[in-house]
Structure 1
Amino acid sequence: MTDEPSDLPDSSRISVTDRFYISKEDLSEDFIRASGPGGQNVNKVSTAVQLRFNLAGNETLPQDIKSRAARLAGSRLTLNGEIVLRADRYRTRERNREDALERLLELLRKSTERQKPRKATRPTLASKKRRLEAKKQRGNIKKMRGRAGRQDD
């Protein structure tokens, strides 16, 4: 899907990796007031950015990457299939806009990496013996915690 030449101009797409990109049409931003300290500036100027990426409607990413991105997004994924990121770390709109976009691209880059399947292993005989010996020692320590003068039989 992404290996074919696209009819999108370079200015309307954002590169995720060297093979994958997203369209700027899948992004929308809203500017909202930031929370926290900042004096009058916080109350007057909407510098925080709420970036929305339409993951469900995206046509440039393969389905397996979309499903991994949805899993990585967690609670930031809406029921409509949008990833919503809020950035209010900086005092200016432009810095917050760049921060939100970079965090989205980082999430998408992580979703392009496939995890290696875990190989099931069994504990060695020596590790089993060490574990049981440690349990016996711990049990003996606890057994010694009885009242003074009490006789165990």
Structure 2
Amino acid sequence: MNIENLIKELSFKAVRSSGAGGQHVNKVSSKIELTFNIEGSGVLTEEQKAILLKKLSNRLTKENVLILFCDDSRSQHKNKEIAIERFLELIKTGLKKVKPRKATKPSKSAIRKRLKSKKRLSQKKANRQKPDLE
């Protein structure tokens, strides 16, 4: 996967940031909206697209477009860099293959240790009870 070509497929839009900030925030469009159409990507293979559509399904629009916002900084350029970093991290983690879990049994010593501690605890609780005098 070529990262430079992937970045070229991104589209950016600068919008006004929300929240407090005084006069500055009302004049400057420093918030960045990054959009990426997964199905329309020429860099990703069909298999990669299918994996991303499945793994990122809760973050996609109905048209399978990924939208990321960034208004961390007052600088539009810095926000754009941060948004690109977040996007690349999201794609990398989305395409990372998860190792299948191998089912294992607990060792004999672990089983013995667990049973011994259970026996000790039950003995402790039995000793708390009043003795049976009959």
Taking the aligned partners of 1:36 and 1:133, their CA distance within structure 2 comes to: 59
Q: Percent identity of the aligned residues? A: 36
Native 8 Å contact 1:48 1:96 kept in 2? yes
Partner of 2:86: 103
Could you tell me the TM-score, scaled by structure 2's length? 0.75
Q: What code does the residue aligned with 1:113 have?
A: K
CA distance in structure 1 between the partners assigned to 2:23 and 2:74 by the alignment: 12
Question: What is the correspondence of 1:40-119 to structure 2 with a 5 Å cutoff?
Answer: 40-73=23-56, 75-119=58-102
Runs of 5+ in structure 2 lacking a partner? none
* CA displacement 1:62-111 (0-9 Å, x = unmatched): 23322333355353222211111111111111111111112111222233
Provide the rounded CA distance (Å) in 2 between the counterparts of 1:65 and 1:111.
9
The structure 1 residue matched to 2:15, chosen from 32, 49, 54, is: 32
Structure 2 Cα separation of the partners of residues 84 and 91 of structure 1 = 20
Q: Over aligned residues, Cα RMSD in angstroms?
A: 2.9
Partner of 2:130: 151
SS in 1 for 2:32: strand
* Deviation readout 1:15-39 (Å, 9 max, x if unpaired): 328xxx4263x42222222234433
How many equivalent residue pairs? 132
Matches within 5 A, 1:10-25: 15-16=2-3, 21-22=5-6, 24=8
Which one has a larger percent helix, Structure 1 or Structure 2? Answer: 2
Name the CA shift for 1:139/1:47 in 2 (closer, same or farther; >3 Å).
Answer: farther
Q: Which amino acid aligns with 1:70?
A: L
Q: TM-score, normalised by structure 1?
A: 0.68
